[in-house]
């Protein structure tokens, strides 16, 4: 499938949904992206789950979502392959490649179809013997960002997805490297990885790149696994200049993990900002994972917050509404492997997002009551 998400294509996608509420579609890097994205992390590694994901992705797009998020290691490459099958169905239904934004990630060992019970043997057979990595490159027994390794993952993801170009490629949880190497070594490895990603942009294999994190942007600067967004930006600028492709970051954000909005742990010049504020100043788009925290937020939302976010919504929809209404967030990513969950969550498409002036009150209630 040739092409990638474009300005014209994503605008065309948004025009398909005349009933979309205010703020459901928003501009990011010139594209018009949906405020809800479908995630593909959880689930068994079996044919039944594969088919369920394929059907859910098709329904998600039909209901107004054009952001699809995955990783090569999710369900041992099965999630990427489910997306590839879903895209074929969607294109048969009249949707075009240029309308849909696909993001994937690499860094962790992907395995193939099922877990490898001997990790060292798997790594040696698939990467060491092929000259793609050494055991010295492997951090925490599971994570590698050596350029040759990442190239193999990009090429495999393109094959799994059936795409010519990946819209967004993340380095997956780069903080995992800091389990095994010091910060100077980590930054040298990251610089080499960014050099590779810039070459892949030139070759047309990826359009944008970034980092998808778990702890890195939510912790204190003095902590071992801390990430500086400004430092990442400067590394990308060093290898790609002003037109570098480092334009996206992903981090968890939800009712229980609120750091992105309130924790000013990001130095930027002489200022100290939240990661959302720093990203805005640097022209970087923020995608938020764990919007439902794997379902653990369900049945725990106070009535007062529910009324402010949208009375009559399900707990899941309220939690998603909170994330997608947060100033600075482009897309709330939600894992959805069943059509019934897609239809429940995508009922939000017709709802307006909460006005920015009202959000502060909601956030204060959430931080004090949840």
Domains identified in the chain and CATH numbers:
7-369 (3.20.20.100)
For 203-223, letters b (16+ CB in 10 Å) and e give eebbbbbbbbbbbbbbbeeee
β-partners of residue 329 are 286
Sign of CA dihedral 250, 256, 260, 266: negative
Please give the Cα distance from 63 to 55 (Å, whole number).
12
CA distances from 361 to 127, 264, 316, 355 (A): 51, 19, 20, 11
pTM score of the predicted model: 0.97
Each of the 370 residues of the chain gets a pLDDT tens digit; together they read 899 999 999 999 999 999 999 999 999 999 999 999 999 999 999 999 999 999 999 999 999 999 999 999 999 999 999 999 999 999 999 999 999 999 999 999 999 999 999 999 999 999 999 999 999 999 999 999 999 999 999 999 999 999 999 999 999 999 999 999 999 999 999 999 999 999 999 999 999 999 999 999 999 999 999 999 999 999 999 999 999 999 999 999 999 899 999 999 999 999 999 999 999 999 999 999 999 986 666 667 888 888 899 878 888 999 999 999 999 999 999 999 999 999 999 999 999 999 998 999 999 998 887 6
């Amino acid at each position: 499938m040739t092409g990638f998400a474009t300005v014209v294509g994503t605008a065309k996608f948004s025009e398909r949904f005349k009933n979309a509420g205010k703020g459901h579609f928003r501009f990011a890097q010139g594209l018009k992206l949906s405020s809800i994205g479908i995630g593909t992390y959880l689930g068994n590694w079996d044919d039944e789950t594969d088919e369920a994901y394929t059907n859910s992705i098709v329904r998600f797009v039909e209901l107004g979502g054009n952001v699809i998020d995955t990783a090569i290691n999710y369900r041992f490459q099965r999630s990427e392959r489910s997306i590839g099958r879903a895209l074929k169905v969607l294109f048969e239904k009249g949707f075009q490649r240029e309308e849909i934004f696909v993001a994937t990630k690499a860094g962790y060992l992907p395995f193939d179809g099922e877990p490898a019970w001997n990790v060292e043997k798997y790594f040696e057979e698939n990467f060491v013997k092929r000259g793609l990595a050494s055991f010295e490159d492997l951090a925490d027994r599971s994570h590698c960002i050596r350029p040759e390794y990442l190239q193999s993952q990009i090429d495999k993801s393109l094959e799994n997805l059936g795409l010519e170009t990946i819209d967004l490629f993340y380095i997956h949880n780069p903080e995992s490297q800091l389990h095994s190497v010091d910060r100077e070594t980590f930054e040298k490895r990251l610089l080499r990885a960014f050099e590779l990603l810039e070459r892949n942009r030139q070759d047309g294999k990826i359009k944008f790149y970034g980092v998808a994190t778990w702890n890195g942007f939510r912790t204190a600067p003095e902590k071992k696994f801390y990430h500086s967004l400004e430092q990442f930006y400067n590394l990308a600028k060093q290898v790609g200049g002003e037109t570098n492709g480092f334009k996206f970051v992903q981090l968890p954000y939800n009712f229980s993990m609120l750091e992105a909005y309130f924790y000013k742990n990001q130095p930027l010049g002489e200022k100290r900002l939240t990661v959302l504020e720093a990203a805005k100043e640097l022209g970087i788009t923020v995608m938020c994972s764990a919007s439902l925290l794997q379902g653990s937020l369900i049945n725990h939302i106070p009535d007062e917050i529910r009324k402010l976010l949208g009375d009559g919504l399900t707990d899941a929809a309220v939690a998603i509404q909170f994330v997608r209404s947060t100033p600075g967030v482009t897309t709330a990513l939600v894992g959805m492997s069943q059509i019934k969950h897609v239809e429940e969550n995508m009922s939000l498409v017709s709802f307006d997002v909460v006005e920015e002036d009202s959000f502060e009150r909601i956030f204060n209630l959430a931080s004090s009551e949840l």
